[in-house]
Amino acid sequence: MSFADWVDTISKIVSTAAIVVGGTWAYYKFVRGRTFAKRAELEVTGHVLDADDLRAIRAHVELRNTGAAKIPLRAKGVWVYGLNSDSAAARAGWGDHLAAVKVLTHHDWLEAQETISDDVLIPLPDELAEIDSRLAYRLEFRVYELRKGAKGGIQWTAEAIVPARLAPVASAAEAGTERKTQNA
C-alpha cells in the first residue's frame, strides 16, 4: 500500500466518524431534545365561600402533561395571597400571604399526555376586620419537577384572581337616572 492509499483510507475513516458523531449530536440536540422535553400546562380557579364568620376558598387545580415524556413531581401546592382595600389604593401588591395547601398528593409523576385534577378547600384566617377589607385573593398553583441528583429543576406556575365579594353594579341607565335626580 502506498502512502497516498493510507492517507485516502484515513481520510475516509475520519470523514465517516465525523458524520456519525455529527448526526448523533444533531439527533439528541434537535430531534430527541425537543420531542422529549418536559411540557406541562396548569390551571387554577377558585370561589370564595362565606358561612357566618368563616371564610374559605374552594380551589380547583388541573395539571396537563402536553409533552411526550413522563414528569416526576416533587412538590405541588396552592398559595393564597390577599389584597386589602387600603393596599389596593397604594399599589402595595399581594403582600399578605394567607395560606398554603398541598394538592395532587396521590400523584408522584405525570405520564405523557395525562391530565390530573384536584379540588381543595382552603380555610382563611378568621380575622373579621381583615375579611371585611379584602378586595380579592390571588391563588398561585405551583408544581416542581423532581430531578435525580441535580439541584433545581423546572417549575410551572398558574395564577387566578378571586374577587372577595361580587357586588351588583348599577347599569348605565340607572346611573344616568340617579344623576338627573341629583341635578334637579
Same-domain pairing of 92 and 135: yes
Same-domain pairing of 65 and 129: yes
**Residue matched to cell numbers 405525570:** 110
Q: Give the whole-angstrom CA distance, residue 135 versus residue 132.
A: 8
End-to-end CA distance of the chain: 115
Identify the weakest region by mean pLDDT among 4-18, 40-54, 115-129.
115-129
Q: Phi first, then psi: give them for residue 129, nearest 5 degrees.
A: -60, -40
Residue 112 lies in a domain: yes
Residue 4 lies in a domain: yes
Would you say residue 119 has pLDDT above 80?
A: yes
Q: What is the pLDDT of residue 165?
A: 74
H or E element at residue 112 = none
Q: Give the whole-angstrom CA distance, residue 20 versus residue 27.
A: 11
Q: Give the whole-angstrom CA distance, residue 43 versus residue 158.
A: 6
Q: Quickly state the pLDDT bin for 150 (edges 50, 70, 90).
A: low
Same-domain pairing of 25 and 63: no
Q: Are 51 and 77 in contact (CB under 8 A)?
A: no
Which is higher by pLDDT, 125 or 173?
Answer: 125
Would you say residue 144 has pLDDT above 70?
A: yes
Which is higher by pLDDT, 113 or 166?
Answer: 113
Greatest mean pLDDT among 58-62, 63-67, 112-116, 160-164: 58-62
Would you say residue 148 has pLDDT above 50?
A: yes
Same-domain pairing of 145 and 97: yes
Q: What is the pLDDT of residue 129?
A: 44
Q: Quickly state the pLDDT bin for 179 (edges 50, 70, 90).
A: very low
Q: Are 44 and 59 in contact (CB under 8 A)?
A: yes
- With a pLDDT cut of 90, the percent of the chain lying above it is 32
Residue 17 lies in a domain: yes
Q: Are 60 and 46 in contact (CB under 8 A)?
A: yes
Same-domain pairing of 57 and 126: yes
Same-domain pairing of 100 and 50: yes
How many C-beta atoms lie closer than 10 Å to residue 22's C-beta? 10
Q: Are 88 and 70 in contact (CB under 8 A)?
A: no
Do you know the residue count of the chain? Answer: 184
Q: What is the pLDDT of residue 173?
A: 54
Q: What is the pLDDT of residue 90?
A: 45
The residue range of the domain holding 22 is: 1-30
Residue 9 lies in a domain: yes
Same-domain pairing of 6 and 63: no
